[in-house]
Amino acid sequence: MPKLKTHSGTKDRFKVTKTGKVLRGHSFKVHNLSKKSAARKRNFAIDQKVTGKAAKSIKRNLGE
């Protein structure tokens, strides 16, 4: 079978750690930031862990 190509959109949005966990960025941090508190904006900067079947499908799209 030929090699599968990496899904470009997935490649830009997710990263896999050395131990195999899938991380995603947080939404709601692009615009309208003046009404959001500083603590809320700080929490947007922390990557979230993806679990379950979603993580499995993301890894498959990344070719892992």
CA distance 50 to 62: 14
Residue 3 lies in a domain: no
Reported pTM: 0.81
In a domain, 12, yes or no: yes
Decide: 61 and 16 in contact? Cβ < 8 Å: no
In the prediction, which pLDDT does 2 show? Answer: 82
Tens of pLDDT, residues 10-57: 999 999 999 999 999 999 999 999 999 999 999 999 999 999 999 999
pLDDT at 1 over 80: no
For residue 53, the enclosing domain spans 8-27+36-62
Domain contains 42: yes
Q: Could you tell me if residue 19 is inside a domain?
A: yes
**pLDDT score, position 28:** 93
Q: How many domains does the chain have?
A: 1
Tell me whether residue 58 is in a domain: yes
